[in-house]
Copies of this chain bind each other. A is one copy, B any other.
Amino acid sequence: MAAPGAGASGEDALIARYFKPLATDPGAFNLVDDAAILKASGEDIVVKTDAIVEGVHFLPDDPPDTIARKALRVNLSDLASKGATPAGFLLTLALRKADDSWLAPFARGLGEDAAHYGCPLLGGDTVSTPGPLMISIAAFGRVPSGKMVHRFGAQPGDRVVVTGTIGDATLGLDILKGGKAAAALADNAAARDMLVARYRVPQPRNALALAIRDHASASMDVSDGLAGDLTKLCSASGVSAVIDVPGIPLSAPAATLLARGAADIGTLISAGDDYEIVCAIPEDRFEGFARAAGAAGVAVTPIGTILAGTSAPKFLDAQGREVPLPRLSYSHF
């Protein structure tokens, strides 16, 4: 991604018009170079890439600015869960055509999020494709040397904690597809809008990164379903867990849909796109963690306990029975 001078092509002009304003970091060299620089003075650079594809991770009709925000935020969510501070990102944008009415709001949404989260555009590549739109972002963060929080590290006795609420995004997608949730909330536009917004625009918990770094023994973001992702965290840590399903935090619209029989809890905890954080907090750090989370304005809820053993975590209902899960987590293949 390089802005044009003499010999500017359509691609160069597009980059200059829409993306150069986002390249606010001095290391981006105003996108007039072939590469950017990330300064590091002894910290570790945390690197992560996540892509979103039209028809898979977002819908063709989704507003361009929400597509941009989702593309960046799914990566910011990973940085948050690792305890890292955002430092910048690279963008790969595969488009069928360069359409100003799509690019202008896309770049505006991306720029607003880049500014809000302190994660400037460092460079990128725009390519043409006859296929679906695809946005791949590589995001970078900083942590003090050796302080990245891993999937591994959870210990028996740790509390299992999640941020925010679980299951909203899959309900939002169901509403966009005209599913059961849409009919069951026909009387409540605000609830429908809230769930749709949760699907389209994740709320990454970057405000919690420092508390995660200071207190969590293990952490990851919930992108492929709470049940599957916690299973991965436990597997990487060589532990098991027991989860009190009625204690899993739900939004009011999600609780309404459960009560109306238009959703089931097994689906909510195994569907994807939550972009919350699930982490393990040692018992003696929980109070400090909860205090730090409160100061950061992020709701955190203990939902269970890490156990010794290597069996998959158990998700138990109020009667202590295992909740049936339709699938453990999302897989592309």
A97 at the interface (CB under 8 A from B): yes
Please state if B38 and A44 are interface contacts (CB–CB under 8 Å): yes
Question: What does the 1/0 interface line of A49-73 toward B look like (CB < 8 Å)?
Answer: 1111101110000000000000000
A286 at the interface (CB under 8 A from B): no
Residues facing B in A46-103 (CB within 8 A) are 46-53, 55-57, 78-79, 81-82, 84, 88, 90-92, 94-95, 97-98
State the CA gap A194–B107 with chains docked (Å): 42
B contact residues around A204 at 8 Å (CB): none
State the CA gap A47–B91 with chains docked (Å): 11
Question: What does the 1/0 interface line of A194-235 toward B look like (CB < 8 Å)?
Answer: 000000000000000000000000001100000010011011
State the CA gap A44–B150 with chains docked (Å): 25
Q: Would A9 and B328 be within 8 Å (CB), given that A14-B333, A136-B51 are in contact? A: yes
Question: What does the 1/0 interface line of A126-147 toward B look like (CB < 8 Å)?
Answer: 1111111010101011010100
Q: Which residue of B lies closest to A235 (CB)?
A: B5
Please state if B6 and A53 are interface contacts (CB–CB under 8 Å): no
Please state if A221 and B34 are interface contacts (CB–CB under 8 Å): yes
Question: What does the 1/0 interface line of A242-266 toward B look like (CB < 8 Å)?
Answer: 0000000000000000000000000
B contact residues around A178 at 8 Å (CB): none
In this complex, which of A79, A88, A136 has the most chain B Cβ atoms within 10 angstroms of its Cβ? A136
Please state if A47 and B38 are interface contacts (CB–CB under 8 Å): yes
Please state if B32 and A48 are interface contacts (CB–CB under 8 Å): no
Residues facing B in A302-333 (CB within 8 A) are 310-312, 328-333
Please state if B330 and A49 are interface contacts (CB–CB under 8 Å): no
The 9 closest A-B pairs by CB, nearest first: A131-B131, A5-B235, A9-B331, A40-B40, A138-B138, A7-B231, A98-B333, A49-B90, A35-B48
**Known A6-B234, A40-B43; 15 more pairs at CB < 8 Å:** A7-B231, A9-B228, A9-B329, A29-B150, A33-B150, A33-B220, A34-B81, A34-B82, A34-B151, A37-B45, A47-B90, A47-B138, A49-B124, A49-B125, A98-B333
In the complex, 17 of the A-B residue pairs with CB atoms within 8 angstroms, ordered by the A residue number, are A33-B151, A33-B236, A35-B48, A35-B84, A36-B46, A37-B45, A40-B40, A47-B123, A47-B138, A48-B123, A49-B138, A98-B333, A125-B136, A126-B332, A128-B332, A128-B333, A130-B131
| Residues of A bordering B, CB below 8 Å | 2, 4-7, 9-12, 14, 27, 29, 32-53, 55-57, 78-79, 81-82, 84, 88, 90-92, 94-95, 97-98, 122-132, 134, 136, 138, 140-141, 143, 145, 148, 150-152, 220-221, 228, 231-232, 234-236, 310-312, 328-333
